[in-house]
């Protein structure tokens, strides 16, 4: 679904979900023995890709809200 088809409330909820998911991921990484560098390389790559995807979605959602309310 394109974000242009979402209501303002849906965009705000999506932003909140992304923020919560990002916070949980960062929290888990910081709680691990050596932080972001813990675990196998594939886990670090997976975490980085997840963070990138969440950031990309966040930028898309906020850009849509900014477009609607300049």
pLDDT per residue over 18-51, tens digit each? Answer: 999 999 888 887 777 555 555 677 777 888 899 9
Phi-psi region at 38: left, alpha or beta (left = phi > 0; alpha = psi -120 to 50)? beta
Q: What's the whole-model pTM score? A: 0.77
Cα of first residue to Cα of last residue in the chain, in angstroms, is 23
Using 50, 70 and 90 to split pLDDT, how confident is the model at 1? low
Crossing angle, helix 8-31 and helix 41-68, to 10 degrees? Answer: 150
Q: Distance of CA 67 to CAs 1, 38, 39, Å?
A: 18, 40, 41
Find, among 10, 9, 50, 42, the residue nearest to 26 by Cα: 50
Domain boundaries along the sequence of the chain: 6-68
């Amino acid at each position: 679904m394109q974000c242009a088809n979402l209501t303002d409330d849906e965009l705000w909820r999506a932003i909140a979900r992304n923020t919560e998911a990002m916070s949980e991921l960062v929290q888990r990484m910081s709680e691990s023995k050596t932080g972001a560098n813990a675990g196998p390389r594939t886990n670090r790559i997976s975490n980085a890709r997840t963070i990138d995807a969440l950031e990309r979605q966040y930028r898309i959602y906020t850009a849509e809200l900014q477009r609607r309310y300049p």
